[in-house]
Structure 1
Amino acid sequence: MAKRVLVVGAGIIGASVAWHLTGFDCEVTIVDAGDGGGLATRNSFAWINASWGNPEWYFHFRRRSMAGWRNLERSVPGLSVDWCGGLLWDLPQAELAAYAQEHAGWGYGIRTVDRDEALKIEPGLKNPPELALHVAEEGMLEPVAASNSLLAAAVARGARFIDRTEAMSLHFHAGRVAGIETTDGETLLADEVLITAGAETARLLETAGVNLAIDAPPGLIAHSTISDRKLLNGLVMTPDFHVRQTREGRLIIGTDFAGGDPGGRDREMATSLLDNVRTMVGGAEGLERDFLTVGYRPTPRDGYPAIGRPDGVHGIYVAVLHSGVTLAPVVGELAAWEIATDLRDADLAPYDPNRSTLRPSP
């Protein structure tokens, strides 16, 4: 008998797990409060990378997922990644050099470039740095389009998608989680509930008595009006901002890839970001601020993903993490296997949701 799996949240992680689950003997239903694409996903900078600031074991997990995106491109109709490369100099020179040496030793395709080569990579830069790093294997995508491609592919393989339906709480039967209660009074039943609901994840877990230390810091991204010119070839990370150009021609800009906390000064921050880009990128002078987004990115307190079954209650699987765009393929693959087989994959051991660092402070 097929296992009934209910996926709560249709952002990039939920969509990836759902698509992978359709390759098993599972009856998959995806529920989303909106129309798909999620909130954190929708507000993502959408940089696919295994970049700096992580220990080696997490670097290799992220790089494995980068390769997973190439596999998904071959398997999921309509899904494509722009493997444009990233040019970065958002660290002091000594730290840039140390980062390049470390990551090259780990097998990353990272190299140091001088001012002239930086201009060849990004001819539109008005004032390129004397020293930068270039990683040709990094990429970007349009996150909502990618999520929707995964959802459509999951539905084509037999999954059911219920949109505009908000989960109010988890539903219990015979001492275990057996589905969800929706805000419109409906009960949706399942053998296992996967919670990938972004900032709502902690609230839903609490209805089952599960408490994880999850933060959801805000991140502002500014979106310019559309340019009819190609202003940037790839991702550009400077000390003052990160920027990329979307396929429709917008520049999207954050203080870093996650965006920064606007502190109630949303418009001022967005305007300042665009002003900085105008001074750096040729052809951007005539662009205006079109709109801004403030996303709330669910992040386990110690900074690493929480993926698996929480102790103390049966019938729940959770996947909560930042860098969802980068990690969607590997999380989708491994979480689907665990849910379908009721086993534990050793590669997910570092991301156990029951680790002590995820218990809230008293």
Structure 2
Amino acid sequence: MKIVVMGAGIVGANVAFRLAEGGAKVTVVEAGRVGDGTSARSFAWTNAHRKTPRAYYDLNIGGMLAHRALRDRFPQGGWWHDAGTVEWAAPGEDRDVFTDRVERLRDWGYAAEIIDHARLREIEPDIDAAAVAGAPIGFFSDEGWVDPVLIAHTLLREAVRLGVTLLTEQGPARLVIRGGKAVGVACAAGDIAADFVVNCTGCWSNSVTDEKRLHVPLAPTTGMLAYTAPVAANLRTVVMAAQCHMRADGAGRLVIRQDHYDRTVLPHTPVETALREADKLVAIAAEVVPSIGKATAEAVRIGVRALPADGKPAIGPIGELAGYYVAVTHSGVTLAPFLGQLIADEILAGRKRDELAPFRPDRFHQENAPAAVAWRED
């Protein structure tokens, strides 16, 4: 079977790798560089933390387990950082709501616990206790973060070894439809014929065709990541502080984000403007980790998150078009390794995976289509 995978981010790379393992003849078509879209601009937190309902939680658990399996298979990859997450309740957040969420996760078998200040000091000694005050503190030991571009690169390198053709710097590609079937992709390299096309282009997924029946309604959001210069702070975990979210990013640098500062930028905001906002974000982080001192932002990245309108993944065939499959999701970093397995099984073995049943794209084109929801970092 000849298959074109559109997009070489973390989702597309996992899909292509699993399809190639299954014996398909795969061509990956990428508009730019490997992993240079949303994957390179993600906070990259792997978790099933606030993932509800249960089916969505279970899908994310599958992603976390698949990440561990990939780490074990490619131990030289260096992309996996699994020291856990610490989080404390925001001012004004109901303490019972916070502790009830931790208890629900425990009931579902998740590694979640309420910890005290002494335990927090053991886990993250650089956090100022005054920044936590009397808020309840949660610790989620199975969570972590990854380097999405390294994952995409490693899997595509292995996929090429298995016979995959990787076409980068192709610019915008278009779906080719003939006789009521997807028959390939048109890109800078020419027309690439295929028996099946898998669209993993995320927030650009609707740009491949003008046919509305093949569109997933999206509510994409802009995200800003601030990167410090090397600082005297040694964070082991993902820190979901009430003030901001932060984690290490190698060579002594931290990466920091906050919902409010996401709203201060747009995809084409000038770098100088975004850096001024990023400096404010670093100052907020220094309130939590005082050893950051008066450091400023060394770099800033602005990305657009792929978010289906109801906040849940859209995975599967769409619009009754034969030979066409879409995979658009927020939480792509967590879900990608599991989605790669599920999608390959559906396409190559013809099995309909129950795990994906609640997340079919055609739900948006039914009479009682789901309503749009507001985005949150989860």
TM norm structure 1: 0.92
Equivalent in the alignment of 2:204: 200
Note the alpha carbon deviations across 1:276-329, whole angstroms, 9 max, x for none. 111211321143211111111111111110000103311211000001110011
Change (3 A) 1:259 1:350: farther
1:5 paired with 2:3, answer: yes
Deviation by residue 1:242-281 (Cα, 9 ceiling, x = unmatched): 000112322111115x972224563343122101111211
Instruction: Kindly indicate whether residue 243 of structure 2 is the aligned counterpart of residue 240 of structure 1.
Output: yes
Name the CA distance, whole Å, in 2 between partners of 1:339 and 1:208. Answer: 23
- Indicate the residue corresponding to 2:119 in structure 1: 117
Q: Deviations over 1:19-46 (max 9, x none)?
A: 1111212001111111201411110001
Distance in 1 (CA, whole Å) between partners of 2:208 and 2:138 is: 42
Q: CA shift at 1:239, angstroms?
A: 1.6
Q: Is the 8 A contact 1:231 1:281 kept in 2?
A: no
Distance 2:251 2:344 in 1: 33
Distance 1:54 1:199 in 2: 22
Query: Structure 1 360/110 Cα, relative in aligned 2: closer, same or farther at 3 Å?
Result: closer
- Moved segments of 4+, more than 4 Å: 357-361
Report how far residue 360 of structure 1 moved: 9.4
Deviation at 1:235, TM superposition (A): 0.7
- Structure 1 position 215 matched with structure 2 position 219: yes
Q: 1:168-189: per-residue Cα shift (whole Å, max 9, x none)?
A: 321123331111112x371111
User: Residues 219 and 262 of structure 1 are in contact (CA less than 8 Å); yes or no, is this contact kept in structure 2?
Assistant: no
Deviation at 1:230, TM superposition (A): 4.9
Match status 1:329 vs 2:337: yes
In the other structure, the counterpart of 1:37 is 35
1:290 to 295, 298, 316: 298
Alignment RMSD (CA, Å)? 2.1
TM-score using structure 2 length: 0.88
Pair 205,107 (structure 1): closer, same or farther in 2 beyond 3 Å: farther
Specify the SS of the correspondent of 2:40: coil
Q: Is the 8 A contact 2:131 2:287 kept in 1?
A: no
Q: What's the CA shift for 1:122?
A: 0.4
CA–CA separation in structure 1 for the residues paired with 2:101 and 2:207: 38
Relative to structure 1, the CA distance from residue 261 to residue 206 in structure 2 (aligned partners, 3 Å threshold; closer, same or farther) is farther
Which residue number in structure 2 is paired with residue 161 of structure 1?
A: 166
| Structure 1 residue ranges without an equivalent (≥5) | none
| 1:305 corresponds to which of 309, 313, 321 | 313
Taking the TM superposition and a 5 Å limit, the aligned residue runs for 1:33-112 are 33-52=31-50, 54-76=52-74, 78-79=76-77, 80-91=79-90, 92=93, 93-112=95-114
Aligned residue type for 1:261: R
SS at match of 1:145: helix
Percent identity between the aligned chains?
A: 28
2:293 aligned counterpart, secondary structure: coil
The aligned amino acid for 1:25 is G
